[in-house]
């Protein structure tokens, strides 16, 4: 059996469907469906079973699980605006530690979602190294601390942490305000005929802030590549290695619709000094381990995403 936590979420549901495409239907989906609208992400999936995240953790702690081939731990509190530290540490840190130890004891490959948010403003670069890691919020801190914990362990089974950069693509609609700019720009063009971008900040012109935007299919491909290479463990950046401005996302959406324009809005005061104006995954460690799959550009990925989004 394969365990996917956060299975009804954005990356988790895409991972489940990719496993289905490989012929794996023996999947235990773990999530919190308090927001029942997320069921739609799994409506096309084939599963062996479903467990609430709290029930699953209880069974892990009691050792009451069947034989497991791999754990893809995608579940987390991913809201960067959540400041209830106890809640975030329980859901993101303690949960991840408990699963890690279970997988080590039972010799199970463990793949978990880390985050590029651990780099903070990125002034020291985006290498998978402690001198680059400067988290700015509780979410980032929980991911940062677990990465540090993993680094201290003597591992007997494969462990891979992937630091996701700005992920976009199908099945993110439930994320609301945390959904990608591609999702929001598409909705804005449909509703108003315009995309709203921030004016300049940190030396960047209007809409010129640059991020490493990665399509969810590329994220899934990286997870599965590491599963196919059990000799590889470590913490790796999961981005394209190519920073592109928000203007590129907006222009790709406008090009798809064949209409619309960009409106620049004042940069929010509450984000000054707390906003990543530039992110770009360093690929040195990833390429050194042998990962050689290509990544979609914004232009390629947004077109593919909007083909799906506007046909749904």
CA distances from 233 to 83, 143, 251 (A): 31, 17, 38
CA pair distance 256, 254, nearest whole angstrom: 5
Rg (CA), the chain: 19
Helix, strand, coil % (nearest 5) of the chain?
A: 45, 20, 40
> Catalytic annotation on 264?
no
CA pair distance 143, 79, nearest whole angstrom: 12
User: Is residue 241 within 8 Å of 295, Cβ to Cβ?
Assistant: yes
For helices 138-151 and 95-105, the axis angle rounded to 10 degrees is 20
Q: Could you say which DSSP state residue 203 is in?
A: T
Q: What is the largest CA-CA distance in the chain?
A: 57
Considering the candidates 40, 97, 134, 175, report the single residue annotated as catalytic: 175
Considering the candidates 110, 139, 141, 164, report the single residue annotated as catalytic: 139
> Catalytic annotation on 175?
yes
Catalytic residues: 139, 175
């Amino acid at each position: 059996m394969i365990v996917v936590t956060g299975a009804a979420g954005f990356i988790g549901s895409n991972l489940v469907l990719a496993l289905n495409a490989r012929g794996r239907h023996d999947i235990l989906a773990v999530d919190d469906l308090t927001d029942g609208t997320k069921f739609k992400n799994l409506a096309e999936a084939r599963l062996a079973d479903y467990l609430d995240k709290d029930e699953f953790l209880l069974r892990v702690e009691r050792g009451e699980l069947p034989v497991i081939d791999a754990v893809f731990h995608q579940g987390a509190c991913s809201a960067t605006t959540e400041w209830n530290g106890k809640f975030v540490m329980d859901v993101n840190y303690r949960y991840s530690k408990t699963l890690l130890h279970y997988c080590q004891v039972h010799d199970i490959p463990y793949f978990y979602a880390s985050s590029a948010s651990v780099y903070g403003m990125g002034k020291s670069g985006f290498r998978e190294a402690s001198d680059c890691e400067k988290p700015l919020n509780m979410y980032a801190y929980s991911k940062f601390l677990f990465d540090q914990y993993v680094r201290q362990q003597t591992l007997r089974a494969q462990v891979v942490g992937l630091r996701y950069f700005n992920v976009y693509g199908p099945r993110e609609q439930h994320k609301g305000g945390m959904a990608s700019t591609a999702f929001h720009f598409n909705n804005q063009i449909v509703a108003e005929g315009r995309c709203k971008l921030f004016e300049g900040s940190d030396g960047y012109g209007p809409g010129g802030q640059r991020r490493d935007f990665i399509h969810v299919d590329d994220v899934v491909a990286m997870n599965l590549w590491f599963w196919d290479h059990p000799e590889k463990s470590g913490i790796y950046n999961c981005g394209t290695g190519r920073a592109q401005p928000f203007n590129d996302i907006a222009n790709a959406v406008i090009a798809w619709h064949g209409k619309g324009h960009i409106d620049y809005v004042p940069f929010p005061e509450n984000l000054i000094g707390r906003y990543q104006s530039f992110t770009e995954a360093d690929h040195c460690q990833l390429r050194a381990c042998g990962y050689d799959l290509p990544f979609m550009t914004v232009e390629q990925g947004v077109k593919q995403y909007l083909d799906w989004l506007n046909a749904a």
